[in-house]
Amino acid sequence: MARHVPGPLYFEQIGKTGLPMLFLHSTPDDHRLWLFQTAHFSAHFRTIAIDVAGYGRSPAIQEGVTPADQASACWEAVDRVSDGPLIIQANSMGAGIATAMAHQHPERIKALILSGCGYSASNEVFLKWVERYKTEGLPLRREQVLDHLAPSVRANPLMQYYADMIVELNNAGTLASIVAMNQGLAHRHPESYYRDMSVPTMIIAGKEDRSYPSALVLQKLIPNCELRAIDNVAHAPMLEAPWEYDRHAIEFLTKLGLYPGEPT
Reported confidence tier of residue 62, pLDDT bands at 50, 70, 90: confident
Q: Which of 23, 46, 162, 152 has its CA nearest to residue 97? A: 23
The radius of gyration computed from the CA coordinates of the chain, to the nearest angstrom, equals: 17
Mean pLDDT score of the chain, rounded to an integer? 96
Q: In the prediction, which pLDDT does 261 show? A: 77
Q: Is the pLDDT of residue 63 over 90?
A: no
- Residue of 17 and 154 predicted with greater confidence: 154
Parse the chain into domains and list their residue ranges: 10-255
Q: In the prediction, which pLDDT does 91 show? A: 98
45, 60, 125, 158, 169 from 5: Cα distances, Å: 28, 7, 24, 33, 19
What does residue 257 show for φ and ψ, rounded to 5 degrees? 75, 25
Q: Are the CB atoms for 204 and 237 separated by under 8 Å?
A: yes
The string of DSSP letters for 189-248 reads PPHHHHHT--S-EEEEEETT-TTHHHHHHHHHHSTT-EEEEETT--S-HHHHSHHHHHHH
Q: What is the mean pLDDT of residues 210-227?
A: 98
Q: Is the pLDDT of residue 262 over 90?
A: no
Q: Is the pLDDT of residue 264 over 70?
A: no
Q: Is the pLDDT of residue 16 over 90?
A: no
Which long-range contacts does 248-253 make (Cβ < 8 Å, 24+ apart)? 248/202, 248/204, 249/37, 249/89, 249/113, 249/202, 249/204, 252/111, 252/113, 252/202, 252/226, 252/228, 253/87, 253/111
pTM score over 0.95: yes
Q: Are the CB atoms for 65 and 4 separated by under 8 Å?
A: yes
- H or E element in which residue 249 lies: helix 242-255
Q: Which of 211, 237, 3 has its CA nearest to residue 100? A: 3
Note the CATH number of domain 10-255.
3.40.50.1820
Beta strand ranges found along the chain (DSSP E): 10-14, 20-24, 46-51, 86-91, 109-115, 201-206, 226-230
Q: In the prediction, which pLDDT does 4 show? A: 87
